Homo-oligomer: A and B are copies of this chain.
Amino acid sequence: MEQLFVIKIGGNVIDDNTSLQSFLKDFAEIKGAKILIHGGGKIATKIGDKLGIQSNYVDGRRITDEATIDLVTMVYGGLVNKKVVAKLQALNCNAIGLTGADANIIPATKRPITKEGIDFGFVGDINNEQLTIENLQLFLKSGLTPVFAPLTHDGNGQMLNTNADTIASTLAVGLSKNYNVRLIYCFEKKGVLENVDDDHSVINLITKEKYQQLLQAKKLFDGILPKIDNAFAAIDSGVNEVLIGDAKDLLQNTTEKVNGTLIK
């Protein structure tokens, strides 16, 4: 099967023009089929502040009220997405900017109010069974590079805010039937560290066995556990391998000899 890279970058890369330009240059150089999913960055909060839209958080998650979904639709779906697309076009990468509403690729459902009574507002949980993967494949086969903003829709006319990591893993799983998929999460460290205080202690390969050993040795810091759990969930659903690494190491991390952490 053909190789496909599904790559997620976070707000830290989006917010810094030099990092973004350098990342996009590397991304454009990757040969073959690839998809980019970008987070939002702090720009939405900045613009929201100017517009008098307050950010409300519950348990570290932003509450997406009506003003906020309009804000992120503008900023993620418009400003950030088209900036990335225009820059990729300049690098001879034939990018096409998308949200989950476009071509109905990612239908979602507004998250119900939790048992504890928390209403996250216009947050979308993806309807995995209803992905329109055919259209995404059509774009890939035509040499286009889809660039997703972290937005979905409810099928009833409402845009929804959806976590970029989740969009990345969902698309990776959806395409794994037809592609050999490496899902790459770019984050602020080189990879999963054997010693949290030593940035050079990157573990280059984590198998399920190795993961059990690391868990038993209590070597992994808490924040990384859900990322690894999600990685294995994606692999169990068909993705070939998941890589967690630094945006700066992107090109190296598309090869066999990675700088980050390969999970398989």
Stretch binding the partner chain, chosen from A72-80, A171-179, A183-191, A247-255: A72-80
- Mask: chain A, 88-123; 1 = CB below 8 Å from B; 0 = not: 011000111111011110000000000000000000
Specify which of B75, B82, B135 is in contact with A142 (CB 8 Å cutoff).
B135
A151 touches B73 (CB 8 A): no
A82 touches B101 (CB 8 A): yes
A142 touches B153 (CB 8 A): no
Residues of A56-95 contacting chain B, CB below 8 A: 70, 73-79, 81-83, 85-87, 89-90, 94-95
B104 touches A89 (CB 8 A): yes
Main secondary structure of the interface of A (DSSP, over half): helix
Say whether, besides A70-B79, A99-B82, A101-B89, A144 and B153 are in contact (CB < 8 Å): no
Specify which of B83, B85, B138 is in contact with A138 (CB 8 Å cutoff).
B138
Contacts of A86 in B (CB 8 A): 101, 153, 157-159
| Bound: A51/B79 CA distance, A | 14
A74 touches B85 (CB 8 A): no
Specify which of B47, B82, B101, B159 is in contact with A73 (CB 8 Å cutoff).
B82
Contacts of A216 in B (CB 8 A): none
CB distance from A35 to the nearest CB of B (A): 14
Contacts of A73 in B (CB 8 A): 78-79, 82-83
Indicate whether A155 reaches chain B with its CB closer than 8 angstroms: yes
| Bound: A95/B52 CA distance, A | 32
Contacts of A47 in B (CB 8 A): 51, 74
B82 touches A159 (CB 8 A): yes
| Bound: A99/B78 CA distance, A | 10
| Bound: A78/B43 CA distance, A | 14
Indicate whether A50 reaches chain B with its CB closer than 8 angstroms: yes
CB distance from A156 to the nearest CB of B (A): 5
CB distance from A34 to the nearest CB of B (A): 15
8 sample A-B contacts, Cβ–Cβ < 8 Å, listed by A number: A51-B51, A77-B78, A77-B81, A85-B99, A86-B157, A87-B157, A90-B156, A97-B101
Chain A residues close to B by CB (< 8 Å): 47, 50-52, 70, 73-79, 81-83, 85-87, 89-90, 94-99, 101-104, 135, 138, 142, 144, 151, 153, 155-159
Give 6 new A-B contacts, CB below 8 A, not counting A50-B52, A86-B159, A138-B142: A50-B51, A73-B83, A77-B79, A85-B99, A85-B102, A89-B155
